[in-house]
Structure 1
């Protein structure tokens, strides 16, 4: 039962990580009312992303106790002072970065790298405090989101109001993973009609990249994954060819891609796994003189060697966060596409669990038939 005291603090359940590589515990925590420019959200569902896994392991900062989770869908329960354009009852998705529309980057419209609301690794709100605690001990947030809690507090700029017509699960997928892949193709690479594309990794991000490539009418969409099950899932979103690296008999992935493209390589490649060894494969798989490689995956290593002469062959590497998608300018467009069935996110959902089964959800992700897990918050 969720209880609100006279000061407006809510007692509710959340999944807490107390130390790395240990099971989460579902316990009652206290969530304070929203402060200035903040909203408190009742989470309806959340989904799990690779970034949650590495955050539990202490990347990039070992902050404990902590409530992770950054994909989700919810309803605004209360609004703090100074919040504009949002009200109680609005349906929203969280965003890991903001869009102030005033800083130099936001004004150009060329990037989603907002100076005022960058990706936050501190585990704290913008005023360097936390809105969550357990028995008087502070709890760190994740990107100021913490969606694995029945209630959470976010800065209002990190909240995107979405049409109530959208399916809650679909909205959760759009809040990070799928949008990152789709955006990498749409906003960062801006691929041309008829382009050839290679996508390394067919998880939530990779499937988003497949859907983005089909939306922009790519001529050939090659997916690379060790999991044969992902092939049929990605074909649902527009995949035309599939490579399983375990079946190449010693041949490199890049060599196989060139073999499939008249010896040239692809116009664009998208690295969606965060596996360091695949970064150079993705680069090597593109065309000499014009190939573009976009890195989307969260790589734990701070320094990754790049094959210099491969890069000097006139190729381009581009990194991105959230696929270059701007939360307030672009995410609503993706939500509209979803509602209009321009892509069907039912094809991503493979498992559902309740909050008290959160550890089982992370185990499910290790199964070959698992693509996305939704955590129903009740």
Structure 2
């Protein structure tokens, strides 16, 4: 089957939108027609060379679509099902899945290798095998994926917002709710209001935070954060220091969530300074893979009993949390329409990422038009 996809052939170069050849699904695989795909910063990390991925690869790890074909061994999915791609697979059998921590599934070891979990490639272009980023490759009209990378959803959820449930929404929401463990009445600071930070704000709101401080230098983004639940805004961590001191009478925030697009080591100490004694500082944003040093005052970190917590996927379990978040959207408690700043065609992918890097979007979404 022929399709069209955005391929990264080498780092530092634009996405190349071109025709691919797709093999049919094999054991425990399905063919999905992709209706919408979110444009997450993580894909640009790979394009820029900040993170590793085997190349060439089809980008995209947020997406939603319709199953068009099922391979052998598929029992609980059928042609016509609406599905959300989970950028982390969940096998259901490894130690982590069995203990309720499927965001750490052992299948995660295959995320950036490009080939299928069962081996080999299903996409080909220019006479070469082409991998799929995060085992899904949603910057495409169609893709073949393993069943562990998709979650069935109800058909009333629009694809343009459903696609965000595969990464940005659960990662941000879970950073506040699951990892930060925000409690009613607490003060939360979210640093970096993009597709992840916007949902950390929402998670804090839904968890009952009294004060939610959204920090970002782009006024458009902090304005959007107010719509999503922020009670206060600041343009920088330095500016937020005085603000948080004032609203907490010097105690500082109970929880901090750092979702900056590119985290650097020097940012850790000012981020921790925003958090109170005994507070929880959640590091969700990605650093460059060569950045392995952080500035941290060890004595006060210990004496003030602060916690610095890393997270992937916001500690969410995709098979449980994607439907739960869809239900919260359906009942009006979770705002998803407000996250989609602009939609693009697949051919406009490089324009969409330029807008993201310029701070114009909370989330850009590619919409396929068949």
TM-score by length of 2: 0.93
Question: Equivalent residue of 1:350, what SS?
Answer: strand
Deviant stretches of 4+, over 6 Å: none
CA contact (8 A) 2:54 2:112 kept: no
For residue 26 of structure 1, the aligned residue among 13, 17, 33 is 17
2:271 maps to what in 1?
282
In structure 2, do the counterparts of structure 1 residues 176 and 295 end up closer, same or farther at CA, with 3 Å as the change threshold? same
The residue number in structure 2 matching 1:37 is 28
Partner residue in 2 for 1:260: 247
Matches within 5 A, 1:177-256: 177-245=168-236, 251=238, 253-254=240-241, 256=243
Task: Write the distance in 2 (CA, Å) between the matches of 1:12 and 1:343.
Answer: 34
Task: Tell whether 2:293 aligns with 1:304.
Answer: yes
Shift of the alpha carbon at 1:111? 6.0
Matches within 5 A, 1:1-378: 10-109=1-100, 112-118=103-109, 120-245=111-236, 251=238, 253-254=240-241, 256-273=243-260, 274-276=262-264, 277-288=266-277, 290-301=278-289, 302-307=291-296, 308-312=298-302, 313-378=304-369
The CA deviation at 1:116 is: 4.3
2:110·2:135 contact (CA, 8 Å) conserved in 1? no
SS of the residue 2:173 aligns to? helix
- In 2: Cα distance, 1:93 partner to 1:81 partner: 21
Whole-Å Cα distance in 1 between the matches of residues 154 and 225 of structure 2? 27
* Contact 2:268-2:294 within 8 A present in 1 as well: no
Give, in whole Å, the separation in 2 of the partners of 1:185 and 1:318. Answer: 11
Matches of 1:258 and 1:71, distance apart in 2 = 37
Q: Structure 1: which 5+ runs fail to align?
A: 1-9
- Secondary structure at 1:279's aligned position in 2? helix
SS at structure 2 position matched to 1:112:
helix
Q: Does the Cα contact within 8 Å between 1:254 and 1:282 map onto a contact in 2?
A: no
Q: Is the CA contact 1:283–1:310 (under 8 Å) kept in the aligned structure 2?
A: no
Cα shift at 1:198: 0.4
Contact kept in structure 1, 2:53 and 2:112, CA below 8 Å: no
Counting matched residue pairs gives: 364
Q: Within 1, Cα distance between the matches of 2:108 and 2:361?
A: 33
CA distance in 2, matches of 1:266, 1:161: 37
Secondary structure of the residue aligned to 1:267 is strand
For structure 2, the 5+ residue unaligned runs are: none
- Does the CA contact (< 8 Å) of 2:22 and 2:124 recur in 1? yes
User: What secondary structure does 2:172 align onto?
Assistant: helix
Aligned counterparts of 2:292 and 2:235: Cα–Cα separation in 1: 27
1:353 deviates by 1.2
- In the alignment, the residues of structure 2 paired with residue 363 and residue 110 of structure 1 have an alpha-carbon distance, to the nearest angstrom, of 35
Q: TM-score, normalised by structure 1?
A: 0.91
Say whether the 8 Å CA contact 1:207–1:234 is kept in structure 2. yes
Contact in 1 for aligned 2:107/2:117 (Cα 8 Å): no
| Alpha-carbon offset, residue 118 of structure 1 | 4.9
CA distance in 1, matches of 2:295, 2:90: 32
C-alpha separation in 2, matches of 1:228 and 1:59? 27
| Structure 1 residues 114 and 229: alpha-carbon distance in aligned structure 2, compared to 1, 3 A threshold | same
CA distance in 1, matches of 2:55, 2:91: 30
- RMSD between aligned residues: 1.8
